[in-house]
């Protein structure tokens, strides 16, 4: 295959921009840009775009000026301009710079299509040159056409995140679940009977392609079905612990991310006191929730069981992307299936737990942890974006990160969680 690629393939642009092109916004937007072909009146273009499409980043592909981008400001941005400029001057503007102003040094910038195909060939596979980049921020994932047989999914693990031993534990857990006829997607073995290959500084695994749609959690039967499969996963997960993968706890998902954000001055100075006071109160609420729950069991989890990681077919669900698998309380894999007002979540939880307990006991003390785990996820998520900012996919996907509006919303979000953790737990 390498001999047939006499020309380098064009680079893969990682991530998904909020506004991919002007044409993708509204028909009027393209007309506005076309009327400003020389970009002589940039303020007017931005003003009219804001009226049409709100805020975000728009690539002005119709201007005739290659690579020109417009950042559509947030409402009220001009009134915050001086404060933001002071923040950027003091902090290097690390979370507000344009994508093309960021240093192009992340390891994924070297993962060109040729290198992807070379890595697969070195692992003994025969790709036919077709690549489709799939939505994934933490890793790089591609659908790869094969010379023979159906396409495969190739996953290139983020450099430096997991040790090889931790990745192999994920693979072993998937194999254990698949051996119990639980619908997961384990990696395929390479020719040397391993599931993890190394090439050019990257580590990769390949998986069979599986299709499906998001489950309809408005249906009680679907919720109970999901509960049954999660019960089966946890029945295997509690047989023995991980040795190389971490535990979901207050220190790793709450205190350490908070401390990282403080150390790296991610929060604007004028909001720092309010944010720090609020996050400290929120973490106190998490500790109280853990104390109320008592010493709950930890087991091997999926770890990130939201709807995007469940594919539904007529035969039921199958679970994908165990990249965040770790030790933790069972309710971590249940609470993300709940949504809406309290009474709605109450009904949803009862259906999920009814199915779950067909295969695995559920400790109802863990219900004290539902809002505490949600709070930890919110804290961890903000730090996750900040830590990944040198990856070109992140400024493209999260252009609003680092703004005053973003951190104001996080403060409000945590205040809501403080109140939620003071309410009685759901009942199942």
Average pLDDT value for residue range 268-283 = 96
Q: What is the pLDDT of residue 124?
A: 96
pLDDT band at 63 (very low <50, low <70, confident <90, very high): very low
Q: What is the pLDDT of residue 106?
A: 87
Measured at the alpha carbon of residue 153, what is the angle toward residues 130 and 241, in degrees to the nearest 5?
165
Predicted structure pTM score: 0.78
Positions marked active-site: 304, 321
Least confident stretch, 25-34, 133-142, 164-173, 227-236 = 25-34
pLDDT band at 211 (very low <50, low <70, confident <90, very high): confident
pLDDT band at 95 (very low <50, low <70, confident <90, very high): low
For residue 85 the two structure tokens come to 């400029």
Q: Which residue has the higher pLDDT, 325 or 93?
A: 325
Rounded to whole angstroms, the Cα distance separating 368 from 374 reads 11
> pLDDT tens for residues 397-415?
999 998 999 999 999 999 9
Average pLDDT value for residue range 54-61 = 43
Angle between helices 256-263 and 370-387 (to 10 degrees): 30
Q: What does the buried/exposed string (b/e) look like for 307-340 if buried means 16 or more CB atoms within 10 Å of the residue's CB? A: eebbbbeeeebbbbbbbbbbbbbbbbbbbbbbee
C-beta of residue 301 within 8 angstroms of C-beta of residue 322? no
Q: What is the pLDDT of residue 316?
A: 85
What is the rounded average pLDDT for all residues in the chain? 83
Phi-psi category of 221—alpha, beta or left, where left has phi over 0 and alpha has psi -120 to 50?
A: alpha
Strands in 34-168 per DSSP E:
56-59, 69-72, 127-133, 140-146, 152-156
pLDDT band at 96 (very low <50, low <70, confident <90, very high): low
136: Cα separation from own chain's centroid:
7
Percent of the chain at pLDDT exceeding 70: 76
> pLDDT tens for residues 118-160?
999 999 999 999 999 998 999 999 999 999 999 999 999 999 9
Rounded to whole angstroms, the Cα distance separating 228 from 337 reads 13
Q: What is the pLDDT of residue 102?
A: 52
C-beta of residue 70 within 8 angstroms of C-beta of residue 60? yes
Average pLDDT value for residue range 252-264 = 97
Angle between helices 81-91 and 269-293 (to 10 degrees): 80
């Amino acid at each position: 295959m390498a001999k047939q690629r006499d020309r380098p393939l064009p680079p893969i642009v990682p991530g998904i921009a909020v506004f991919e092109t002007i044409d993708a916004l509204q028909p009027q937007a393209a007309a506005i840009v076309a009327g400003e072909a020389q970009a002589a009146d940039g303020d007017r273009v931005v003003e009219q775009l804001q009226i049409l499409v709100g805020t975000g980043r728009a690539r002005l592909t119709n201007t005739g000026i290659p690579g020109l981008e417009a950042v559509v400001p947030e409402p009220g941005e001009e009134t915050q301009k001086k404060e933001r400029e002071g923040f950027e001057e003091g902090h290097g503007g690390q979370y507000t710079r344009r994508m093309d102003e960021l240093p192009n040094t992340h390891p994924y910038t070297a993962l060109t299509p040729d290198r992807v195909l070379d890595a697969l060939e070195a692992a003994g596979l025969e790709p036919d040159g077709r690549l489709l980049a799939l939505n994934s921020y933490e890793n790089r994932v591609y659908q790869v056409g094969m010379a023979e047989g159906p396409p495969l999914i190739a996953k290139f693990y983020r450099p430096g995140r997991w040790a090889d031993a931790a990745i192999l534990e994920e693979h072993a857990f998937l194999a254990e679940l698949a051996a119990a006829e639980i619908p997961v997607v384990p990696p395929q073995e390479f020719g040397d009977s391993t599931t993890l290959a190394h090439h050019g500084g990257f580590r990769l695994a390949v998986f069979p392609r599986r299709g499906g749609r998001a489950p309809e959690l408005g249906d009680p039967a679907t919720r109970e079905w999901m509960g049954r499969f999660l019960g089966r996963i946890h029945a295997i997960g509690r047989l023995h612990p991980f040795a190389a993968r971490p535990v979901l706890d207050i220190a790793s998902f709450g205190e350490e991310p908070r401390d990282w954000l403080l150390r790296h001055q991610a929060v604007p100075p004028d909001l720092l006191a309010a944010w720090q006071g609020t996050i400290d109160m929120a973490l106190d609420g998490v500790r109280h929730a853990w104390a109320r729950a008592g010493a709950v069991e930890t087991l091997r989890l999926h770890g990130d069981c939201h709807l995007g990681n469940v594919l539904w077919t007529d035969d039921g669900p199958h679970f994908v992307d165990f990249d965040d698998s770790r030790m933790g309380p069972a309710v971590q894999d249940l609470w993300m299936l709940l949504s809406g007002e309290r009474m709605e979540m109450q009904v949803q939880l009862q259906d999920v737990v009814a199915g779950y307990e067909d295969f695995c006991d559920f400790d109802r003390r863990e219900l004290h942890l539902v809002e505490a785990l949600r709070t930890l996820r919110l804290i961890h998520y903000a730090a996750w974006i900040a830590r990944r900012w040198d990856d070109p996919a992140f400024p493209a996907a999260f252009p609003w990160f680092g703004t005053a509006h973003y951190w104001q919303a996080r403060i409000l979000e945590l205040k809501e969680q403080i109140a939620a953790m003071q309410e009685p737990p759901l009942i199942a």
